[in-house]
Structure 1
């Protein structure tokens, strides 16, 4: 006997048993096979609105006994604002088969938490620069995500919340500053191919173009060292893929670099935390257009335990800035634990 909820692997034995059970219940398999097989499937129907409380009982025959209505409503209400959680809720609570990879962030929520007073790029640029000046000397954590030689690379500085009045309304938020690089010679081809305004972002100062047809990591290294000289950079975490000599050079300059794994073990906690910060409007990004584009591209992958992490292969376009934030946030959270500080002091309670 096997009891389980729906899954996402449509090549699995579980899926095969599910499909056979459906056919047995429909009477479309030979009688001798069906007579030796018992299948019971409790799920919402195709076309049902998964947010409608009236349909929940279909997947939960003992609703309000083993599964409390109020608990299920809370979980579904949270999933409405957290797209990455929707597949898990629909699979584990409503017994729907889903895809493994889902779109992640609600961009309306993302913008509410971090946009300046205006969407005019000049004001966005001014506000980002103004906040950057106010943060000089403050504690921060770096995240580096380098691409192949001819693609987008990203570096972020992530500043934990502070109670200092100088930052005003931003004092209780996590603040992210970012830099992006791309090869100059490749920009116009990418604009035509990807229909992404790299050239506009370059001209506005949101994207740094390095000479030639490959990213010149000397420019990346110089910018990181300049930022490290102005801020209290505690750690710089990086994905070892494509990192190469730049890591050794930065270490030789005295920076504290930490390799950060890209699997579920390392990425699950910061990915979930970044999602929570976005939903709770506790992350300020200043409306940086390249970072916003990255955020809109992110798809996440689920593991069987419901953990999530960004999936570069399945995301629609580049997500380097978001991956860099996850790298930095992972180390920031780890330092809270290692320093004996409760993460609840900086991020509050995380509801799962």
Structure 2
């Protein structure tokens, strides 16, 4: 009763209603933690578990998308700029349509020519992703803003980008140029409140298998995520403190998903 005093009053909530709610929430990690926090009065800070298990991601991952089905389609773009000498990520999100009922994420990753960071601190080697083209190594020791601008401009010629979502941090050099190209850019708060809706929605469409995602490097980045929960059940991704490796690709996905959800007035939904 102490965990949920409302159980003492069946007019507020009955035990069966609580157990039914648990059954609905227990299949999604963030939803389960949200249930425990709000209904059992137990607070979680950081969980030392992956965000979404690889076997779940495997169900929605594809080697590539059918380019003919994407050409000229409406989409949202998100980017996440790295620190000056690491990986920057760009993501396109195509909402469901009558002919393509699933969300589709098309992902791009770019790194500087710092040879030392090809092999990460934990021994993970990025070289195979460079060879496959899933990670582009540009000829620059720091972020090549011109390359990223040209990449996004080229994507805007192929697809109908409705809006660009971005983290304000270090984007001051890039967003004015994108706006001059006619792209509508919107900053996405990286706070737990600002990312919670998109994080839960991304988890939902992955578990429901309502999405197709490309680029194997992004799958690796999912494994670097640990979740942070506040006392209100809001959630955001954070780097795994033990590995401290990049999650930029997932953050780029969340940035474009955030502006999409805001556009359809679903950014405040609770899942």
Same fold flag (TM > 0.5):
yes
2:228 aligns to what?
A: 301
Question: What is the alpha-carbon distance in structure 2 between the residues aligned to residue 69 and residue 210 of structure 1?
Answer: 58
Give CA-to-partner distance per residue, 1:278-337, whole Å, 9 cap, x none. Answer: 121111103x21111112222222222111122247584211111111111111122223
Question: What is the alpha-carbon distance in structure 2 between the residues aligned to residue 88 and residue 315 of structure 1?
Answer: 24
1:107 aligns to what?
A: 54
1:87 aligns to what?
A: 33
Q: Which runs of 5+ in 2 are unaligned?
A: none
2:101 aligns to what?
A: 172
Residue 206 of structure 2 is aligned to residue 263 of structure 1: no
The structure where helix makes up a greater share of residues is 1
1:141 aligns to what?
A: 76
Q: Compute the displacement of 1:90 (Å).
A: 3.5
1:12 aligns to what?
A: none
> What does 1:332-351 align with in structure 2 at a 5 Å threshold?
332-337=260-265
The structure where strand makes up a greater share of residues is 2
2:141 aligns to what?
A: 213
Give CA-to-partner distance per residue, 1:214-242, whole Å, 9 cap, x none. Answer: 23222111111111110000111111102
8 Å contact from structure 2 (residues 85, 114) kept in 1: no
Give CA-to-partner distance per residue, 1:68-118, whole Å, 9 cap, x none. Answer: 34433343334432222343434444455x541234223322222x134xx
Question: What is the alpha-carbon distance in structure 2 between the residues aligned to residue 227 and residue 92 of structure 1?
Answer: 42
- Three-state SS of the structure 2 residue aligned to 1:101 is coil
Give CA-to-partner distance per residue, 1:12-70, whole Å, 9 cap, x none. Answer: xxxxxxxxxxxxxxxxxxxxxxxxxxxxx856xxxxxxxxxxxxxxx789589464344
Q: Compute the displacement of 1:200 (Å).
A: 0.8
For normalisation by structure 1, the TM-score amounts to: 0.68
For normalisation by structure 2, the TM-score amounts to: 0.86
8 Å contact from structure 2 (residues 113, 140) kept in 1: yes
**Number of matched residues?**
266
Q: Given the superposition, is the C-alpha separation of residues 80 and 284 from structure 1 closer, same or farther in structure 2, using an over 3 Å criterion?
A: same
Q: CA RMSD in A?
A: 2.7
Question: What is the alpha-carbon distance in structure 1 between the residues aligned to residue 234 and residue 270 of structure 2?
Answer: 14
Question: What is the alpha-carbon distance in structure 2 between the residues aligned to residue 266 and residue 134 of structure 1?
Answer: 32
Question: What is the alpha-carbon distance in structure 2 between the residues aligned to residue 142 and residue 189 of structure 1?
Answer: 27
Question: What is the alpha-carbon distance in structure 2 between the residues aligned to residue 259 and residue 192 of structure 1?
Answer: 30
